[in-house]
Chains A and B, each alone.
Chain A
């Protein structure tokens, strides 16, 4: 007689995933064991599932269609934000390219001077013949241009953020919920730009701007991930967070600074 069946074999035989008929016919012990298992498993009858109401399908669709609409809105917004981010990157790349080109252009005469110190007098460029104290001016100008462009771009972002935070802090918490759909969408857009500008500001060494953008980010993130209906308690908590960080005040200060810095400085014209 072949070896007795294992417990696993009995289970497989019960579910007809294994056919050990030959052994079972010959082995009374295994046959008995399989019967014992069958008597237990036969008692495990499917629990009767309560039939849902007659309008179940309609109710499922009502709930689902609402979620699908939200899904589509998010998809559209996502696509829009993706293109906006791409456009912002293209603009920044263009600006960076423009600056780099200018810098290379103005550096050329300096390189010529550095390589041929004796030929200064014969250089045709005005920069090349300028006194030594003025030779560093193109570098400074480029740096200033670069900073100014970044500040102009960020200034609008600060302005929009400030407006949104002011609107938010001015909402008087009523007893019920506040519709947050519109604010959430605006916060999502601002958040995407904020991340981009923060990285750029850090790269350019604009620490003040980067710090403020860094403080603004968690607040924008909280607003972007808020539910569509915000309770009075949640609203108050958001308002407290904005006030505690003094964000509106900081935005105003930095914005005023940004405006002043980003104005092109007039070069005094020599009097004839």
Chain B
């Protein structure tokens, strides 16, 4: 049964159909949320909030759109909300340690030290970005999403989206300067 058929069932009060949707998409949402928030606990909260918001807003879902894209949009907004609220609470975000602990799988033995340090620096640099900058960069750089689509998710015009990505790249370049100095 495809997503649209399940959504119709949920709209008719079938909660089991919603369970199937949750089971089908929760892992992908978790990954997406993890990349933006940078840790598992926050990603878990985003998954919960995303499905809760999706459940409330199912009535407004346009069946011509893809449910996966719609759900990811909600997840990204939830991630940004979470980052904003945490920023307000703590003054700044600091989850570089979580991101830094994950080393790249293809690091060769002779570069493992540099690789681990580099990963840590990337994580730190990502943590220094604003919520919008990190989201725009993750979607463009890691997910390969076109700028126009990113703008739709962030609710910004194309020029503003471009500027957000430019700022993110500029900051990352500055932060990674000590590691890439020899390469640049």
Chains A and B are bound partners: yes
* CB pair A57 B22 closer than 8 Å: yes
Task: Tell me if A167 counts as interface (CB < 8 A to partner B).
Answer: no
A-contact bits for B131-145, CB 8 A (1 contact / 0 none): 000000000111000
* CB pair B170 A65 closer than 8 Å: no
Q: Which of B23, B30, B44, B184 contacts A61 (CB 8 A)?
A: B23
* CB pair A17 B102 closer than 8 Å: no
Task: Tell me if A171 counts as interface (CB < 8 A to partner B).
Answer: no
B-contact bits for A1-29, CB 8 A (1 contact / 0 none): 00000011001100101000000000000
Q: How far is the CB of A42 from chain B (nearest CB, A)?
A: 9
* CB pair B173 A40 closer than 8 Å: yes
Task: Tell me if B156 counts as interface (CB < 8 A to partner A).
Answer: no
Give how many B residues have a beta carbon under 8 Å from the other chain's beta carbons.
46
A-contact bits for B41-78, CB 8 A (1 contact / 0 none): 00010011001100110000000000000000000000
Q: A44-B122, A44-B141 are in contact. Are A49 and B48 (CB under 8 A)?
A: no
Bound together, the chains give a CA A172 to CA B21 distance in angstroms of 45
Task: Tell me if B87 counts as interface (CB < 8 A to partner A).
Answer: no
Q: A47-B119, A50-B40, A57-B26 are in contact. Are A41 and B141 (CB under 8 A)?
A: yes
* CB pair B172 A40 closer than 8 Å: yes
Task: Tell me if B85 counts as interface (CB < 8 A to partner A).
Answer: no
In chain B, what residue has the closest Cβ to A63?
Answer: B48
Task: Tell me if B152 counts as interface (CB < 8 A to partner A).
Answer: no
* CB pair B102 A60 closer than 8 Å: no
Task: Tell me if A46 counts as interface (CB < 8 A to partner B).
Answer: yes
Bound together, the chains give a CA A48 to CA B169 distance in angstroms of 20
Give how many A residues have a beta carbon under 8 Å from the other chain's beta carbons.
31
The contact sample of 29 A-B pairs, CB cut-off 8 A, is A7-B166, A8-B162, A11-B166, A12-B162, A17-B147, A17-B162, A37-B169, A37-B173, A39-B180, A39-B183, A40-B183, A40-B184, A43-B183, A44-B141, A46-B142, A48-B102, A56-B26, A56-B30, A57-B22, A57-B23, A57-B27, A60-B47, A63-B48, A64-B51, A67-B48, A68-B52, A68-B55, A71-B52, A71-B55
User: Which A residues contact B (CB, under 8 angstroms)?
Assistant: 7-8, 11-12, 15, 17, 36-37, 39-41, 43-50, 52, 56-58, 60-61, 63-65, 67-68, 71
User: Which B residues contact A (CB, under 8 angstroms)?
Assistant: 15, 18-19, 22-23, 26-27, 30-31, 34-35, 40, 44, 47-48, 51-52, 55-56, 99, 102-105, 118-119, 122-123, 126, 140-142, 146-147, 162, 165-166, 169-170, 172-173, 176, 179-180, 183-184
